[in-house]
Chain A
Amino acid sequence: MRQVVGLILLLVVVAFLVWGVLDIHPFGYPPSDMDDYIIENAQEETGSNNVVASVVFDYRGLDTLGEATILFTAVTGVLLLLRTRKRREESS
């Protein structure tokens, strides 16, 4: 019974995903001016041969700051969680 329900749910989810994919824009459409601008001017403006790096660290630097913050928070959380044991044993 559970397997049948699971199968039906899986089929529903797959149908939703396929429906979403069928509705997607064709590749590169709608055309935007921003990607052409970045491809043509990134080397001159940022001096970086790797245009992806120039987008990640220059044009969209704020996003990268958010990524770095996520990593920082994750590390802080893991270290906080995994360090508490000994201290609790000492205090008890």
Chain B
Amino acid sequence: MLSKIVRTVANQLILFILIFGLYVIMHGHLTPGGGFQGGAVVVSGVVMLLVAFSSKDLQKSLRERFLSIMESTGALIFAILGFAGIGTVFFYNFLVGTSIFGRIPPTGPNPGDIWTGGVIPLMNLAVGLKVIAGLSAVVLAMALFSIGEEIEE
């Protein structure tokens, strides 16, 4: 556990890091970024908490069971979305033109609309969940292993 200054700053900063990471994930079809990158941003916030506080404190709030359920959910959503377009071809973007994320932007530069992209925003969300849960579990397990503890169920 680091000094009180570091802990206070980390406490204030984690909100902004989480918001920025979720923004990068949810705007993956409009701006640079996406599921992998935004997930890495969120996990960098988790690593900051891990450095500022002791890993035993974080162990109580980040359970392994919760993280594995989250990761499996992300992988399952991704695979299901891939299989859902199998009527045409594997990973077909079947939501374009429908009422869910179905608007089509004009070709060329445009301001962008969050309600476009078909399955791409949903896949970004699934991959983001997967990266957040997976990398958090890896970092937490390694930190706990280095002090001789074990990740909690």
Contact = CB atoms under 8 A, between A and B. Distances in A.
Contacts of B87: none
Contacts of A53: 28-29, 34, 117, 120, 124
Contacts of A11: none
Interface in B107-153: 107-108, 110, 112, 116-120, 123-124, 127, 130-131, 134-135, 137-138, 141-142, 144-145, 150-151
A50 to B, nearest CB: 5
Given A47-B102, A49-B29, A49-B105, A78 B116 contact: no
A49 B116 contact: yes
B103 interface: yes
Given A54-B29, A57-B123, A49 B138 contact: no
A61 to B, nearest CB: 3
B58 interface: no
Nearest to B148: A85
A56 B82 CA distance: 13
A15 B150 CA distance: 48
Given A71-B130, A72-B134, A83-B150, A45 B64 contact: no
A47 B104 contact: yes
Given A43-B107, A47-B118, A48-B116, A61 B29 contact: no
Interface string B52-89: 00000000000010001001000100110010000000
A45 B150 contact: no
Interface string A34-75: 000000100111111110111011100110110110011011
B138 to A, nearest CB: 5
Interface of A: 40, 43-50, 52-54, 56-58, 61-62, 64-65, 67-68, 71-72, 74-75, 78-79, 82-83, 85-86
Interface of B: 28-32, 34, 36, 64, 68, 71, 75, 78-79, 82, 90-91, 93, 96-97, 101-108, 110, 112, 116-120, 123-124, 127, 130-131, 134-135, 137-138, 141-142, 144-145, 150-151
